[in-house]
Amino acid sequence: MTGNARPASALDPAIAARLKRSADGLVPAIAQQYDTGEVLMLGWMDDEALHRTLTTGRCTYWSRSRSEYWVKGDTSGHVQLVKSVALDCDADTLLVKVDQTGPACHTGTRTCFDSDQLPLGQ
Which parts are annotated binding residues for Zn(2+)? Answer: 89, 105, 112
Binding residues: 88-90, 92, 105, 112
Q: Cα(70)–Cα(105) distance, rounded to whole angstroms?
A: 14
User: What letter would DSSP give residue 108?
Assistant: S
Q: Cα(18)–Cα(4) distance, rounded to whole angstroms?
A: 22
Binding residues for Mg(2+): 88, 90, 92
For residue 65, give the nearest of 85, 44, 36 by alpha carbon. 44
For residue 48, give the nearest of 83, 21, 73, 66 by alpha carbon. 21
Q: Strand order in 80-87's β-sheet?
A: 39-45, 27-33, 94-100, 80-87
